[in-house]
Structure 1
């Protein structure tokens, strides 16, 4: 996975966090990120997809999360909420990306931005989402693994 895409995710976490906390206009936040050159080393098109795609799909993303979290989505720590929303978005909309990559990237984001141990929480929830949304991919991977060992 490219560093530019990883940087796009990092910027998206920060931008989504700002949006969640302030309710500010998406375009205003994006303009601020561009002006401050916070997207300099990021894949801008991917940042754009995440930052605009997640608010557009928020109802579906949060409905998915509600099946697996132990509290209302709005009660989840805002940093973790932004990371989980990115992970769910990618699991549902970026089938070109292996689910393991989505989980690993999300865990790394939680280690980078979240509280101590939040990566375990993020991993636990996104793993359950992946079992539901990427069942075919996971079964194929498991079959391949058992064929190789058999």
Structure 2
């Protein structure tokens, strides 16, 4: 995995509108390699969910997209193959929290939640708040109008279970 910990302070990152323009290298604004990896992983997972495409075919196609060279390729690969491989386990964590059938969840929201849950479970070098914020931004940039709120609620509900010590320590520091 990359040593980029995505720990840039919020004020050092471009605003969401500038970040959206930077997707795929189409505009100004600095994007962290792991943020780009998540964007490409989201697109790839969408292809898997909607088209049922094979991970290897999706991987090959995605690596040829404009701007991929700016992404953390190792993190992208980990997310794509990890999420697809653990899909049933991830869904098993998500489903009890849903207010609707899994089939009714937008593929963008579902893929974004897959990324968040997978990173909570398998990427301890990425702080839980970074995972949460990155997934909210993905849902804002690619999802429906209020999809980010749903992703936020779901991942906020799972974070204390999947990153118990880290979440508790954060909340203890924030308590008056």
Report the TM-score, using the length of structure 2 for normalisation: 0.79
Q: What pairs with 1:84-123 in structure 2 (closer than 5 Å)?
A: 84-123=113-152
RMSD value, Cα = 1.4
Q: Does 1:48 align with 2:47?
A: no
Structure 1 range deviating more: 126-135 or 70-79: 70-79
Aligned residue in 2 for 1:130: 159
Aligned residue in 1 for 2:46: 17
Q: Does 1:31 align with 2:60?
A: yes
8 Å CA contact 1:11, 1:38 repeated in 2: no
Residue 69 of structure 1 deviates from its aligned partner by 1.3
Aligned structure 1 segments of 4 or more residues deviating by more than 3 angstroms: none
Residue 92 of structure 1 deviates from its aligned partner by 1.2
- The partner residue of 1:65 within 74, 94, 115 is 94
Stretches of structure 2 that go unaligned for 5 or more consecutive residues are 1-5, 7-30
Stretches of structure 1 that go unaligned for 5 or more consecutive residues are none
Q: Structure 1 or 2: larger helix share?
A: 1
How many residue pairs match? The answer is 147
